């Protein structure tokens, strides 16, 4: 934000100084002229990933709401349509426009080095939001804000172990199908790892997890975080299960939208989702609560997309020269089927 008094404003102030002996009313137009002088907005370029899920749409809405003109922002928003190339082009255009701050939600972890160097060379503060890059060190960004995806995977694993213990199946061989997120993306990599860590009883963030070597991921394929793809991949899992005579006991979906797609496929195959196949997702979107309330899904691990207020706060702090935490994680919960009907009216995304 380049805050400078315009020559015109300066003249108005000077004239009010030199004419201070002339009385004026509280609504003196000279003051309304000063007040009406538009304060320069904070120009923020945001390279969003796309609109692949309810989570992503809620995240975009939250950012647009908080980084509004009324709140003092000029938001330059680009939807990358799930393509890294589009995001890189957006980042380069933000550099060209010399925006005040750049915000990046990187679709995948790798391939950002060159464009991030260009942003750093231009001296534009960079905020990384939601996902991570694999660039070494932390000097290249001002602050990172989002969810702890490893913890989310661990929570899903722990919930599953506790649930199976609760229905006296904790000692059985449990076959798990995994609907993987976007390949190369941090939520997919980390949720997978966190889930495996829980099954191995080697968690970092979640306590009291007992190893289950008898719980195995027997199928895993990417549905790119999209509902329609979740359905197609689940159809292929079910076909494989029939061909190879492997019973699928559990579906772990890296997000709720893929789980919701899978539920359609399971129903079309004449099975009961939530009963014949236990389903755990991530995000805690409204659709998951509706499915859980109907008994068709068993658990969702929360991943909050409501990042707008914190982003607005961080942008203002950067413009004021304040130092921010390098990393801030959102605090999130776990919602099993039992609480779904009660929680549904409280869900905002
Ligand atoms: O990066 C967050 C993930 O991206 C959400 O879990 C998923 O729904 C979204 O598409």
CA-closest candidate to residue 160, choices 212, 202, 203: 212
| Ligand 1 mean position, distance from CA 19 (Å) | 61
| Cα gap 219→281, rounded to integer Å | 16
Instruction: State pLDDT tens for residues 19-44.
Output: 333 344 444 444 444 545 567 999 99
| Ligand 1 mean position, distance from CA 153 (Å) | 13
pLDDT for the residue numbered 39: 78
User: Which residue of 183, 255, 281, 288 sits with most ligand 1 atoms within 8 Å of its CB, as the best mutation to test the pocket?
Assistant: 255
The number of the ligand 1 atom at minimal distance from the alpha carbon of 185 is: 1
Predicted confidence band of residue 7 (pLDDT cuts 50, 70, 90) = very low
Q: In what order do the strands lie in the sheet with 143-146?
A: 73-79, 42-48, 101-104, 126-129, 143-146, 327-329
52 lines ligand 1 (CB under 6 A): yes
| Ligand 1 mean position, distance from CA 9 (Å) | 47
Predicted confidence band of residue 62 (pLDDT cuts 50, 70, 90) = very high
Position of tokens 């647009």? 64
The number of the ligand 1 atom at minimal distance from the alpha carbon of 225 is: 10
205, pLDDT greater than 90: yes
CA-closest candidate to residue 107, choices 166, 211, 184: 184
The number of the ligand 1 atom at minimal distance from the alpha carbon of 257 is: 8
% of residues, the chain, pLDDT over 90: 89
Instruction: State pLDDT tens for residues 104-145.
Output: 999 999 999 999 999 999 999 999 999 999 999 999 999 999
| Ligand 1 mean position, distance from CA 32 (Å) | 47
295, pLDDT greater than 50: yes
289 lines ligand 1 (CB under 6 A): no
| Ligand 1 mean position, distance from CA 188 (Å) | 9
| Ligand 1 mean position, distance from CA 283 (Å) | 7
The number of the ligand 1 atom at minimal distance from the alpha carbon of 187 is: 1
């Amino acid at each position: 934000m380049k805050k400078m008094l315009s020559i015109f404003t300066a003249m108005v102030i000077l004239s009010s100084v030199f004419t201070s002996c002339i009385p004026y009313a509280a609504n003196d137009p000279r003051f309304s002229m000063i007040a009406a002088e538009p304060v320069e907005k904070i120009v923020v370029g945001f390279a969003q990933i796309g609109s692949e899920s309810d989570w992503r749409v809620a995240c975009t809405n939250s950012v647009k709401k908080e980084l509004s003109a009324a709140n003092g922002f000029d938001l330059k928003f680009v939807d990358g349509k799930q393509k890294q190339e589009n995001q890189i082009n957006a980042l380069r255009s933000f550099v060209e426009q010399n925006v005040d701050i750049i915000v990046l939600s990187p679709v995948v972890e790798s391939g950002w080095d060159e464009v991030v160097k260009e942003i750093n060379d231009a001296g534009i503060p960079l905020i990384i939001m939601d996902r991570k890059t694999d660039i070494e060190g932390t000097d290249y960004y001002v602050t990172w804000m989002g969810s702890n995806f490893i913890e989310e995977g661990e929570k899903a694993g722990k919930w599953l172990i506790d649930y199976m213990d609760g229905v006296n199946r904790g000692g059985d061989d449990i076959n798990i199908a995994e609907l993987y997120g976007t390949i190369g993306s941090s939520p997919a990599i980390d949720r997978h790892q966190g889930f495996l860590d829980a099954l191995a009883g080697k968690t970092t963030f979640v306590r009291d997890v007992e190893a289950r070597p008898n719980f195995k991921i027997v199928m895993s394929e990417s549905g790119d975080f999209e509902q329609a793809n979740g359905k197609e991949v689940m159809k292929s899992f079910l076909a494989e299960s029939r061909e190879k005579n492997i019973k699928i006991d559990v579906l772990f979906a890296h997000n709720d939208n893929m789980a919701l797609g899978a539920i359609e496929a399971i129903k079309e195959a004449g099975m009961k989702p939530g009963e014949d196949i236990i389903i755990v997702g991530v995000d805690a979107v409204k659709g998951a609560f509706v499915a859980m309330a109907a008994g068709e899904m068993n658990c969702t691990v929360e991943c909050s997309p409501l990042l707008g207020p914190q982003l607005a706060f961080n942008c203002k702090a950067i413009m004021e020269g304040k130092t921010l935490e390098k990393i801030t994680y959102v605090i999130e919960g776990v919602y099993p089927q039992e609480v779904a009907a009660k929680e549904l009216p409280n869900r905002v995304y």
